[in-house]
Copies of this chain bind each other. A is one copy, B any other.
Amino acid sequence: MERLTVGTGRLELVRLAHGGGGLLTRELVGRVFLKHLGNPVLDRLEDAAVLPGRLALTTDAFVVSPLFFPGGDIGRLAVCGTVNDLAMVGARPLALTASFILEEGLPLADLEQVVASMAAAAREAGVTVVAGDTKVVERGGADGLFVTTAGVGLVPEGIALGTDRIRPGDRVVVSGPVGDHGIAVLSRRPGLEFDTPVLSDCRPLNGLVAHLFARLAQGVGTSAVRFLRDPTRGGLATVLKEAAEGASVDIVLEEEEIPVRPEVRGAAEVLGLDPLYLANEGKLVAVCAPEGVEEVLAALRERPEGREARAIGRVEAGRGNVILRTAFGGRKILDLLPGEQLPRIC
């Protein structure tokens, strides 16, 4: 069979960093996926595709290791991840699908625990799993259990989000402390186990988003929210870098305003990791109109998922940079990470 060549034509191999959510992931998406499958909807690379008829569609594969971690497991992660991807385009989730790839020898009790956890998360989010599939591969052909979820949702009239709506002067809000999920999973990584009280923040955000828009509709208007994203793989910095580039603006963050739990900061320091690049699974970043920021903060804080919401920065005219202003007045550019910070974090 004739081989297609990628890039330079050398025999290039997939590296862990291709899945890290940073620069190499982006390169792979462009050079392989968009090259062949590209179309106006896919090319937007939003968390969920929005089709004619306001139908939203999304998918994510979950390969987190270990399967169970403080505050969650791969099943809860999969349901919340897909529900949240729908919520980030403003969609109300209608239904989910779930496909399982199982390794021969996985304890059935582990599988059942994961499935029960998916069911609980789905109830929490008010959504059902309506279709599924299971495949089994021989021992050594997979690592325990992988889940891929897809979700379909409906975007209510009057809600349109996207980087193209971001303008200089807009404000950046985060719904709570960042980095919890990354540290929680790492604390149970074989060979790296450490004690920490940090739990994954893994939770559905569709209720929070519905509440946010319902409240804005009574006040400043839903259009005050320009853009939503859940900072999963790659963390806050990666999401904002993508937003800044997508909108061709700069985003200036105040380091002092970004909420990070002391335990997360401490563990990250020991591990040599930057909390701004750590994965979150129950937080959202919102870019909103300056006149709407107080209402957005108030709405988020009315719900437990957004109790610790903070305004952390602002949008300026620029060329796609994210700039972190430190407590001492320094400025640091936050770029996409060239490689993999944390493999199999989700």
Contact = CB atoms under 8 A, between A and B. Distances in A.
Contacts of A111: 6, 14, 32
Given A36-B115, A152-B152, A4 B97 contact: no
A159 interface: no
Q: Chain A at the B interface: mostly helix, strand, loop or mixed? A: mixed
A213 interface: no
A118 B143 CA distance: 25
B61 A6 contact: no
A239 B62 CA distance: 30
Contacts of A17: 136
Interface string A146-158: 1010101000000
A178 B18 CA distance: 40
Nearest to A20: B136
Contacts of A98: 37, 59
Contacts of A135: 19, 61-63, 344, 346
Contacts of A136: 14-20, 340, 343
A195 interface: no
Most B CB within 10 A of own CB, among A94, A122, A133, A146: A133
A135 B130 CA distance: 24
A137 interface: yes
Contact of A55 (B4, B16, B62, B94): B94
A63 B138 CA distance: 11
A50 to B, nearest CB: 9
Contact of A61 (B51, B128, B148): B148
A3 B130 CA distance: 26
A161 to B, nearest CB: 15
B130 A39 contact: yes
Contact of A14 (B18, B103, B340): B103
Interface string A11-38: 1111111111000010011001101110
A152 B37 CA distance: 17
A214 interface: no
A97 B130 CA distance: 16
Contacts of A143: 137, 140-142
A217 interface: no
Contacts of A20: 136
Interface stretch (A41-49, A249-257, A283-291): A41-49
Contacts of A107: 11-14
Closest 8 CB pairs of A and B: A19-B136, A150-B150, A59-B97, A148-B148, A49-B130, A61-B99, A36-B119, A14-B106
Interface of A: 1, 3-7, 11-20, 25, 28-29, 32-33, 35-37, 39, 41-42, 48-49, 51, 55, 57-63, 65, 68, 94-95, 97-113, 115-116, 118-119, 122, 128-138, 140-143, 146, 148, 150, 152, 340, 343-344, 346
Given A32-B112, A36-B118, A142-B143, 17 more contacts: A3-B109, A4-B113, A12-B107, A13-B104, A14-B108, A14-B136, A16-B104, A32-B108, A32-B111, A37-B122, A37-B132, A39-B130, A42-B131, A57-B95, A57-B97, A63-B137, A152-B152
